[in-house]
Amino acid sequence: MRTTGLLDLQVNGYAGVDFNTASLTPDALDHALHAMLRAGVTNCLPTLITAPEAELAARLHALDRAVRTSRLGPIMVLGIHLEGPFLNPAPGYAGCHPAAAMVPADSALLERVMAGLGTPIRLLTLAPERPGALALISWAGRRGIVTAMGHTAADHDTVRLAAGAGLSLSTHLGNALPQPQPKFLNPLIAQLAEHRLRASFIADGIHIPPHALDVLLRAKGLERSILVTDATAAADTKPGLYDFAGMRIEHAADGSVREPGSVVLAGSALRLDQAVRNLVAWGFASAEQAIAMASAQPAALLGAPLGPRSAVTWDEALTPRTVTVGDVTINNPAR
């Protein structure tokens, strides 16, 4: 089977490389992007998480330089996903993001950290209940930035207002929620009930148990569901310790990624082709549907085509055998 390549909207790092560092080099980015190609990912949005303004600006500009001056960056990177700093800092909602660096929504802050970037911010995840968030959603829309909600305690009315302002995605729906929650009046149900929102899911069997993911996919609908990895430097690597946005994270033998000694998940070690295989193996989607959730549907969210000559040839086990993007082709990439 031959399809377009996969598009990962949320990838914080890969193959030992952390994108959330001011010391990111073009060679390091190329190493990570080449490893992503082996998984059938031909396009992506490198993702930066919450940080104080000066550090966030430094990381954005390092990522931008690496994208523009690497071999694979110009043909694989469609833009940047900024997850924060306009998130909910309350315990449970903040996840592994530094709560102290979370601030009210502020377009002036975005303009400062974006100044001089050659690689655009294409996706912004925020918490719509934060002061100024609805105005920022409208501001972003006028500048071609897609907005999403995550790390949020938003109620039904706030979700409705955010969707009306132009917000269009729930980021890693089902995660970054403290326990317990009210049975029906909670951010998860509020987002599932808003039909104008697409939703992204981390289908590793760790972030969401498969039986729960089945329910969420049926509630949202496969046509409005997107597969992402939320990958960190621990993806496509052996278990061990890795760096992530100034933290140390541990890739455990069970595949989970956490700060050492913490129960809070800190991204994932998931490959996007494995997410596709998981959905098919669990009986939640056909191969064609699962691949669309990792390619055509995220591309539709961004309103942009995939990179030039983006294609993957799959074998019967849904393993990528030939991957092409631009003038780069990898044969038999599976390991």
Annotated catalytic sites, by residue?
A: 230
CA nearest neighbour of 270 among 228, 217, 239: 228
Helix (H) or strand (E) holding 3: strand 2-3
For helices 53-69 and 107-114, what crossing angle results, to 10°? 40
Comparing C-alpha atoms, which of 52, 94, 41 is closest to residue 266? 94
Which residue in 217, 220, 229 sits closest to 191, CA to CA?
220
Nearest to 86 by CA among 137, 125, 60: 125
**Taking Cα atoms as reference points, which of 215, 214, 246 lies closest to residue 233?**
246
Does residue 180 have a cis bond before it (omega within 30 degrees)? yes
Give the count of alpha carbons within 13 A of 233, CB side only. Answer: 21
Beta strand spans in 56-215 (E): 80-83, 121-126, 146-149, 169-170, 198-202
Nearest residue to 226 via CA among 319, 123, 329:
123
H or E, element range at 275: helix 272-281
Look up residue 175 and give its DSSP letter: -
Q: How far is CA 224 from CA 34, 39, 160, in A?
A: 29, 23, 17
- Vertex 201, ends 198 and 202: CA angle to 5°? 160
Task: Name the nearest CA neighbour of 306 among 1, 3, 71, 4.
Answer: 4
